[in-house]
Amino acid sequence: MARHARKTRIDWILFVVLLAGTLATCGPFAWMLATSIKPGNEVFVFPPTLLTGQPQLHNFMRLFGTIPFGRSLVNSLIVCLSITLAQLIVCSMAAYAFACLTFRGRETLFLIYLAALMVPSQVTLIPNFILVRNLGWIDTYQGMILPFAFSSFGTFLLRQYFMTIPRELLEAARLDGCKHWRIYVWIVLPLSRPALGALAIFAFVSQWNNFLWPLIVTTRPEMQTVTVALSTLQGQYNTDWPLLMTGSVLAVAPVLIVFILGNRAFIAGLTGGGFGGR
C-alpha cells in the first residue's frame, strides 16, 4: 500500500515536470501567435507584453493584400496534394509488384530501391537542378512535383503492409479469373487504408515543410511555396516581427491541423509501420 502511494506521488511529480516541458515545446507557437496580433510598435517595448491590449488583424490583411502570400499558400497546397497523390499511386503500384507478384529480379530491385534511402537529397540536388533547368521547368509546378513523385520510403512502408494481407484472398481472386489491376484496385488498396493514410499524411507534411528544392527551382514570387515565401519575407521585412510571425502562423497552421487530426497514423508510419497490433 505504501509503495502504491509512493508511485502515485512520483507520477504526480513527473506529470508536473512534463507539463512544464510542454511550455518549452509549445511556448514558441504561443509567442508566434501573440506577436502576430500585436501592433507594430508594441514589439519594441521592454519588458515585452505577453498579450497585447489591442489585438488586431492588420498583419493578416497586409499579408493577403500587398504581398502575394495567399498565392504561396495555394502553390504549396497544389504542390503538396499533387505529390501526395502521386506517391500514393506510384508507391502502391510498386509495392503491389513487390508484395503480391513473383518475377525475376524482385529481391534485387527491392534492395536497389531501399538503397536509395541512404542517398541524402542534397547529393542529387545539383544534377536534379540541372535536369529541371534543361527541361525548362524552373518556375513550374511539374518541376516541384515530379522529383518527389516517387518515394523509396513510401514503397517500403506499403510493401510491408501489403505483405500482411492474407495470401488466400489474393489467390482466390486469381482463381476466379480476376486480373491484377482489379485485385490491386478492389482488394489490396481498400484493405490498406491505414497504411495509405499514414503515407499520405507523412508525404503531405514533409512536402509542406520542404524548403531547399522549391527555393532553388523558383525565381518568380508567384511560384514560391509557403516556406520560400516566408524566407523572402524575412529578407524584405527584416525587423517587422509581427508580419514575420503572421506568415509563420499561416505556414504552420495547416500542418498542425493535419497532424493533430491524423497523429496516430503519422506516428505509426514513422516508427516503421507498426499499425496497432499488426
Partner 1 sequence: MAARSKLWRRDTQAAWLFLLPSLVLFIMFIAIPVIAAFMISFTEWDLFNPMKFVGFGNYTKLFNDDIFKKVMGNTAYFVLASVPLQMAFGLAIALVLNRNIKGQTFFRIAYFLPVVTSTVAAALVWSWLFNSNFGIINALLQMAGVTNPPKWLASTKWAMPAVIVVSVWQNVGYAMVLFLAGLQNIRTDIYDAAALDSARGWKRLWFITLPMLSPTTFFVLIISIIGSFQVFELVFIMTKAGPANATNTLVYYIYQNGFQFYQMGYASAAAMILFAIVLVATLIQYRMQDRWVHYG
203-222 residues in contact with partner 1 (CB under 8 A) are 205, 208-209, 211-212, 216
Which of residues 61 and 119 has its CB atom nearest to partner 1 in the complex? 119
Query: Least CB distance from residue 193 to partner 1, whole Å?
Result: 20
Locate 160 and state its grid cell: 510491408
Cell 491541423, residue located: 257
Locate 58 and state its grid cell: 492588420
Distances, alpha carbon 190 to alpha carbons 85, 103, 165, in Å: 16, 24, 11
The count of residues interacting with partner 1 (CB under 8 A) is 86
Query: Least CB distance from residue 147 to partner 1, whole Å?
Result: 5
From CA 129, how far away is CA 208, in angstroms rounded? 19
Decide: 207 and 126 in contact? Cβ < 8 Å: no
**Using N-to-C axis directions, what is the helix angle for 58-65 and 241-270, rounded to 10°?**
80
Q: Does 172 bind partner 1 (CB under 8 A)?
A: no
Q: Does 263 bind partner 1 (CB under 8 A)?
A: yes
Query: Least CB distance from residue 68 to partner 1, whole Å?
Result: 17
Q: Which of 1, 18, 20, 111 binds partner 1 (CB under 8 A)?
A: 18
Q: Which of 66, 102, 108, 219 binds partner 1 (CB under 8 A)?
A: 102
Query: Which residues have CB under 8 Å from 40's CB, separation 6+?
Result: 240, 242
Stretch that binds partner 1, among 44-52, 53-61, 62-70, 192-200 (CB under 8 A): 44-52
